Amino acid sequence: MDFLRSIAIAASGLKAQAGRIRVISENLANADSTAAKPGGDPYRRKIATFQHKLDRELEADTVALGRVAKDKTPFKSRYEPGNPGADATGNVKLPNVDPLVEQMDMRQAQRSYEANLNVIGATRRMLSRTIEILRA
């Protein structure tokens, strides 16, 4: 049962990090988007949160992707009077997405994903060795 518990915990981590990677990918895809209408707001960065879940069947603490929150930091602006999204002064609001921060977050999520994957692999190897020992 402990093997199943460790695999379930690692699988919940995989799923949560995959959701986080999707949110980060959306942020990166919209890093250069501007508002379609003058004075409108551009894309607002999203932040993935995690929540604790109790798996009653396995009696194990797991993690899940929680609410995806909007980042409240202010938008950047750039002077582009020819842009259709420019306001009366010629400034265009830009998303509050910093590609460097998103890339660092993506790398951290990727490493967490790989760590959970390694836990599953190690658990499978231990389970296989246990079966081999029992057969002998």
Cα 61 to Cα 3: distance, rounded to the nearest angstrom: 14
Cα 46 to Cα 76: distance, rounded to the nearest angstrom: 16
Tokens of 70: 């909007």
Tokens 């993506």, residue located: 106
Cα 27 to Cα 32: distance, rounded to the nearest angstrom: 10
3-state secondary structure of 66: strand
Cβ proximity of 58 and 83 under 8 Å: no
Say what the pLDDT of residue 58 is.
Answer: 81
Say what the pLDDT of residue 1 is.
Answer: 55
Cα 17 to Cα 112: distance, rounded to the nearest angstrom: 7
Cα 32 to Cα 104: distance, rounded to the nearest angstrom: 18
Cβ proximity of 71 and 119 under 8 Å: no
The pLDDT profile of the chain, 136 residues, written as one tens digit per residue, is 588 899 999 999 999 999 999 999 999 999 999 887 787 889 999 999 999 998 888 888 899 999 999 999 999 999 988 888 888 888 899 999 999 999 999 999 999 999 999 999 999 999 999 999 999 8
Say what the pLDDT of residue 59 is.
Answer: 84
Secondary structure letter of residue 36 according to DSSP: S
